[in-house]
Amino acid sequence: MDYQAVLEEVAAHARPYVRQGRVADYIPALERVSADRFGIAVADIHGEVYGVGDWEVPFSVQSISKAFSLALVMAQSHGGHDDGIWRRVGREPSGTPFNSLVQLEAENGIPRNPFINAGALVVTDRLQTLTGDASTSMLHFLREESGNPDLAFDQSVADSEAEHGDRNAALAHFMASFGNLENPVPSVIEHYFWQCSIEMSCRDLAVAGGFLARHGLRADGSRLLEAREAKRINAVMLTCGTYDAAGEFAYRVGLPAKSGVGGGIIAVIPGRCTLCVWSPGLDARGNSVAGAAALDHFTTLTGWSVF
Amino acid sequence: MDYQAVLEEVAAHARPYVRQGRVADYIPALERVSADRFGIAVADIHGEVYGVGDWEVPFSVQSISKAFSLALVMAQSHGGHDDGIWRRVGREPSGTPFNSLVQLEAENGIPRNPFINAGALVVTDRLQTLTGDASTSMLHFLREESGNPDLAFDQSVADSEAEHGDRNAALAHFMASFGNLENPVPSVIEHYFWQCSIEMSCRDLAVAGGFLARHGLRADGSRLLEAREAKRINAVMLTCGTYDAAGEFAYRVGLPAKSGVGGGIIAVIPGRCTLCVWSPGLDARGNSVAGAAALDHFTTLTGWSVF
Amino acid sequence: MDYQAVLEEVAAHARPYVRQGRVADYIPALERVSADRFGIAVADIHGEVYGVGDWEVPFSVQSISKAFSLALVMAQSHGGHDDGIWRRVGREPSGTPFNSLVQLEAENGIPRNPFINAGALVVTDRLQTLTGDASTSMLHFLREESGNPDLAFDQSVADSEAEHGDRNAALAHFMASFGNLENPVPSVIEHYFWQCSIEMSCRDLAVAGGFLARHGLRADGSRLLEAREAKRINAVMLTCGTYDAAGEFAYRVGLPAKSGVGGGIIAVIPGRCTLCVWSPGLDARGNSVAGAAALDHFTTLTGWSVF
Amino acid sequence: MDYQAVLEEVAAHARPYVRQGRVADYIPALERVSADRFGIAVADIHGEVYGVGDWEVPFSVQSISKAFSLALVMAQSHGGHDDGIWRRVGREPSGTPFNSLVQLEAENGIPRNPFINAGALVVTDRLQTLTGDASTSMLHFLREESGNPDLAFDQSVADSEAEHGDRNAALAHFMASFGNLENPVPSVIEHYFWQCSIEMSCRDLAVAGGFLARHGLRADGSRLLEAREAKRINAVMLTCGTYDAAGEFAYRVGLPAKSGVGGGIIAVIPGRCTLCVWSPGLDARGNSVAGAAALDHFTTLTGWSVF
């Protein structure tokens, strides 16, 4: 596969979609990003990386961090096996907008899955218990795995999130009222916001997410997760990774993916490669318009949907 | 009407219901109250008071305070006329349990009515803005109106509420995320808990609630509310005052009423009198079992339902 | 009380509201009614009747029939006492639009109250069992009670309802799936539509609803309902009688009332009189705009809200 | 791959799960099936079939028929391209039990996906319009594709469904009230029940579902669906095919699958084979307990999850 040629064709196809949708504006630090940006990168399982456009420009990972925090919790648990996290968060698509409280109330404070905000707060809470510092442990992991020691939190983003964080505070307090948090609400929220604020490029994310295509092996060949566990994270990404458009995304693209309101999407082709695409304009459900178009075209060109 | 004789017959009728239901146990300070307690008091519109049983024993007013905070907000508003509070809270029965988040989410952070927790938080927030000290202003009003200068907050109850207050914190943060709070969340919650923690007897509450039977006139003859406003508070009490059993309560008792999980219920017979009954055992919806039976029998004996 | 003078003042006050709102257009037979119509009638407990405007013009009673079918079921039950109907339908406000399926699903096919469509279907089903012909028995009752032997069904309305009756069919089948219907779905729906199609004037309805103001006594002095039962129907009307605006209606008007999408509203002042007002323009919740304004002004002029 | 050996190991693994769960008992014809049954079959893309246990015993396909009706509608549409069906039914997981009315109401009569009952009724309605006889056209297709000319409806099952079909009637009338049915409700329901009543064995279903593994090619090599369409049906099966356990199923098994309350499950390994497993004991969400265990073990042994 000539990845570089494919990416260039994909970028050409996606170009008309750039500037479509709306740049996330609920916090000023995101709003300032130019809607013109578009980048895409592929890291194959051998570590080769290809990219087009703004593929080396850092952006705010936002909810893409949820895939990494889930992986770290699974990796930290006893011998890499599934652990108690699944008693505290489900694995079903939410069926409703991504920060809904309705199901949380109906289901006794157990979030539907680890990729809605409530579920990610539970995962962060668990990572905090396991590591003592959820956000720093994730940052260190991402630096090592991406090979980019310059990765950092963006304090202005984290501060902005905190200022506009009443809904996440509501979710956290609500779960705490059901006994589903181990650490104090303010600490969990703070680490959650720090995680979301990490800045990474398409290159960084494609490389750092390589373990999902390598059935759990890290860049250095050591094992982060059992093959079964890596597959299972992919399964959760496919059914729950793109907010309440997961069904639509599976239908169009057919790949495990996790999106963020910064406009990034990572996607996994198990056994082959990890992709990351970025363009800030979002559709009504919070996924990058040009990013989804690019991934759609990538699977059309390569025939590599999982189906 | 020989109130004393009626109250004695009512108390005899209600006796078998005492100890039925469950004493509220979500905070230790409430759990310690004896389930044997039963008291009832009537204050007629001329200020005469009658009582039976534990009618002079103070108990935690809890949600009964919501009727007073609504009255104080309405009274503080320009010239006693309806004000902006009704743009921030509705007047419809909630149709779901009293601290539900579902409708709050569906209706953009506007609580259904001022007597569910979310709505009472909005009213407290408004009272805080109007007075600068929502809980103290309510305490002073209740002392004056009841003629009992010893009324006080119960700090152990307020502290317990705060310790178990994650659900109210969730409600408040959630409304804040919709822009429906004027003051900081912790301050609103604190004043709300202080209001709920006030200790009053059946006597105190029946006397303090006299303005609802006197079409808005205070004990000293001055006007707190326009007649129309007092009627409207009664209307909200009838349709929303007893959690999600308001329809049942209207059917059985037929009086405007407001209950609290401390086991108290105040009820109003417009133009005649205000009652307060107390017995700590609660039914599944949070209303005093013996209290409801007593009010039911009172209207049967007197024929004084509003219908 | 000079009813005639009051009604004239009320009509003058309501006049600017006539033509506001929208005439029900979901069935052609209703849509054809002129939006200019306005009538109001009062029948006092002694049988004197007063009216203004189009008070003698027949209109489609629609959901006002629900109050009469409930009364007839209660009257037919053993000795006039409450019977099993309340095991099959609740007494709580619905909290959601009047033909919602949500609560019905959450609550195992038991409708919230007898005045939402689902609840009225259950009441009609019960009346069908008790009488063998629910719609004819209601028509006969209304003829006798109103003293108008010409009352009749409007076949074009009933037929139109049936043609557009998928939602009611859905409700009925859904309740049948929970075992909450005694008769075949098509039969229940047919009788329900016939009941709704009855044509009556404000005069007819005010007179026929006199028993609600007379604590259960019929026009001829015989007893239809126990006093307690009549009060209880009034209570259900106040908390549930005006679709999901019952709280607002209680707040503004303060009277037990039942509205219909034909633009009619009956209201009860217990011990005094029964009113009926009619104007076809409906607000967003299905209640007559000018009708509600008229009742609001009536209670303002007379001071006769129940609160 | 030695399919026969793998199936035998899978059957041995699944054996302890047989008789777990509950046999569907909502209609008598299903209830009579022995809980001891277990069969599994694989049809590879070349038409070779392997089986173990009761793999040649016919059972009621029930909701498995939904995958075939969707395929037939997509195939019948203009040139095999996506058509208007997706304006009438969504592609998102439902997030709530499979015959819920809640989302249908919130989303204007558009079912969440084609595999919940409401969505399948819409697909059947469309197939009825396209073919003039939805159930017969499906039966003919399944006979041809399975190579089994003896496939037939089970009239006792169809009749039983109809007798207990109030909930489906409610769904259909409800969608009709939103204008989302093209044919009369009774006709749509009848064809839907007939489709569900078809009796097929694991062998029949694995062979008939071969086009899903062959990227749209039928057994005779002709094209039923574009490759892209076949992939998309697989995507919908993975995200929505196992009632509200689709996320869990993707996590454990990692294959597109469609289950039925008769105890059957078909699953697809794109490019390789189609499986069908059958055992009547169902878990709380309506999926075969031993069937899910068998598929889980199959992917463990072969490593053939799509992730």
Per-residue pLDDT of chain D (307 residues; tens, 9 = 90+): 899 999 999 999 999 999 999 999 888 888 899 999 999 999 999 999 999 999 999 999 999 999 999 999 999 875 544 568 999 999 998 866 655 677 787 788 999 999 999 999 999 999 999 999 999 999 999 999 999 999 999 999 999 888 889 999 999 999 999 999 999 999 999 999 999 999 999 999 999 999 999 999 999 999 999 999 999 999 999 999 998 899 999 999 999 999 999 999 999 999 999 999 999 999 999 999 999 999 999 999 999 999 9
Same domain, D193 and D75: yes
Please report the pLDDT score of residue B80 as a whole number: 45
CA C198 remoteness from chain centre? 11
Q: Which of D232, D231, D211, D230 is nearest to D220 (CA)?
A: D211
Q: Which residues of D touch C173 (CB under 8 A)?
A: 166-167, 169-170, 173
| D188 domain-assigned | yes
Domain boundary among B154, B171, B196: B196
* Token pair listed for A10: 């994909």
Same domain, B149 and B190: yes
Please report the pLDDT score of residue B107 as a whole number: 84
Same domain, D54 and D116: no
Please report the pLDDT score of residue D97 as a whole number: 61
Q: Which residues of A touch D107 (CB under 8 A)?
A: none
Residue A221 confidence (pLDDT) above 80: yes
Same domain, D116 and D163: yes
Please report the pLDDT score of residue A80 as a whole number: 45
Helix (H) or strand (E) holding C122: helix C117-131
Measured between alpha carbons, how far is B257 from C134 in angstroms, rounded to an integer? 37
| C218 domain-assigned | yes
C contact residues 1-30, partner B, Cβ 8 Å cutoff: none
CB contact under 8 A, C239 and B93: yes
Q: Which residues of A touch D256 (CB under 8 A)?
A: 307
| A307 domain-assigned | no
| D307 domain-assigned | no
Ranges of chain B whose pLDDT falls below 70: 78-83, 95-100
Catalytic residue among C18, C61, C63, C197: C63
Please report the pLDDT score of residue B209 as a whole number: 98
Within 13 Å and on the Cβ side, how many CA atoms surround B286? Answer: 21
Q: Could you please report the per-residue DSSP string of chain D?
A: --HHHHHHHHHHHHGGGTT-SEE--SSHHHHTS-TT--EEEEEETTS-EEEEESTTS-EE-GGGHHHHHHHHHHHHSGGG---THHHHS--S--SS-TT-SHHHHHTTT--S-TTSHHHHHHHHHHHHHHHS-HHHHHHHHHHHHHT-TT-B--HHHHHHHHHT-HHHHHHHHHHHHTT--SS-HHHHHHHHHHHHH-EE-HHHHHHHTHHHHTTTB-TTS-BSS-HHHHHHHHHHHHHHTTGGGHHHHHHHT-S-EEE-TTSEEEEEETTTEEEEEE--EE-TTS-BHHHHHHHHHHHHHH-----
Measured between alpha carbons, how far is A180 from C132 in angstroms, rounded to an integer? 56
Secondary structure of residue C208 in the 3-state scheme? helix
Domain boundary among D169, D197, D225: D197
CB contact under 8 A, A101 and B102: yes
Please report the pLDDT score of residue C171 as a whole number: 93
Secondary structure of residue B150 in the 3-state scheme? coil
Q: Could you confirm whether D177 is annotated as catalytic?
A: no
CA distances to A180, B12, B21 from B160, in Å: 20, 34, 22
Same domain, D99 and D23: no
Angle ∠(A184,A188,A189) on CA atoms, nearest 5: 115
What total of structural domains would you count in chain C?
Answer: 2
pLDDT above 90 covers a percentage of chain C that reads 85
Q: Rounded mean pLDDT of chain A?
A: 93
Residue C106 confidence (pLDDT) above 80: no
Which residues are CB-neighbours of C164 under 8 A, at least 6 positions away? C26, C27
Average pLDDT score over residue span C61-69:
98
Same domain, B187 and B72: yes
Measured between alpha carbons, how far is B136 from B72 in angstroms, rounded to an integer? 12
Residue A99 confidence (pLDDT) above 70: no
In terms of phi and psi (left: phi > 0; alpha: psi -120 to 50; beta: otherwise), the region of A267 is beta
| A96 domain-assigned | yes
Does the pTM surpass 0.80? The reply is: yes
Angle ∠(D301,D233,A119) on CA atoms, nearest 5: 70
Secondary structure of residue B231 in the 3-state scheme? helix
Q: Is B269 on the interface with C (CB under 8 A)?
A: no
Same domain, B225 and B173: no
Within 13 Å and on the Cβ side, how many CA atoms surround A77? Answer: 19
The CATH number of whichever domain residue B160 belongs to comes to 3.40.710.10
Q: Is A92 on the interface with B (CB under 8 A)?
A: no
Measured between alpha carbons, how far is A231 from A227 in angstroms, rounded to an integer? 6
> Least CA distance to A164: which residue of chain B?
B177
Same domain, B129 and B39: no
| D228 domain-assigned | yes
Please report the pLDDT score of residue C164 as a whole number: 81
CB contact under 8 A, C167 and D173: yes
Distance from the Cα of A176 to chain B's closest Cα (Å) equals: 6
Q: Which of B93, D5, A166 is nearest to C243 (CA)?
A: B93
What is the sign, positive or negative, of the torsion defined by CA atoms of C92, C95, C101, C106? negative
C268 is in an annotated binding site: no
Please report the pLDDT score of residue A163 as a whole number: 82
Q: Is C236 on the interface with B (CB under 8 A)?
A: yes
E-strand ranges in chain B read 39-44, 49-53, 59-60, 199-200, 257-259, 264-269, 273-278
CB contact under 8 A, C270 and B306: yes
CB contact under 8 A, B94 and C90: no
pLDDT band at A97 (very low <50, low <70, confident <90, very high): low
Same domain, D139 and D207: no
Same domain, D93 and D187: yes
CB contact under 8 A, B251 and C91: yes
* Token pair listed for A156: 């202005």
**Lowest-confidence range among C71-80, C118-127, C135-144, D69-78?**
C71-80
> Least CA distance to D163: which residue of chain C?
C177
| Cross-chain CB nearest to C94 (options B95, B113, B236) | B95
Residue C80 confidence (pLDDT) above 80: no
CB contact under 8 A, B239 and C245: no
Same domain, C54 and C124: no
Domain boundary among C141, C169, C197: C197
Interface pTM, i.e. ipTM:
0.93
> Least CA distance to B232: which residue of chain C?
C251
D188 is in an annotated binding site: no
3-state secondary structure chain A: CCHHHHHHHHHHHHHHHCCCCEECCCCHHHHCCCCCCCEEEEEECCCCEEEEECCCCCEECHHHHHHHHHHHHHHHCHHHCCCCHHHHCCCCCCCCCCCCCHHHHHCCCCCCCCCCHHHHHHHHHHHHHHHCCHHHHHHHHHHHHHCCCCCECCHHHHHHHHHCCHHHHHHHHHHHHCCCCCCCHHHHHHHHHHHHHCEECHHHHHHHCHHHHCCCECCCCCECCCHHHHHHHHHHHHHHCCHHHHHHHHHHCCCCEEECCCCEEEEEECCCEEEEEECCEECCCCCEHHHHHHHHHHHHHHCCCCC
* Token pair listed for B287: 């209303």
CB C265 within 8 A of CB C295: yes
| B307 domain-assigned | no
At residue B55, φ and ψ (nearest 5 deg) are -75, -10
pLDDT above 90 covers a percentage of chain A that reads 85
* Token pair listed for B168: 């109210």
pLDDT band at A78 (very low <50, low <70, confident <90, very high): low
Same domain, D178 and D132: yes
Q: Which residues of C touch B303 (CB under 8 A)?
A: 227
Q: Is C240 on the interface with B (CB under 8 A)?
A: yes
For residue A220, what are the domain limits? 3-63+201-302
Measured between alpha carbons, how far is B239 from B253 in angstroms, rounded to an integer? 12
| C307 domain-assigned | no
Residue C243 confidence (pLDDT) above 90: no
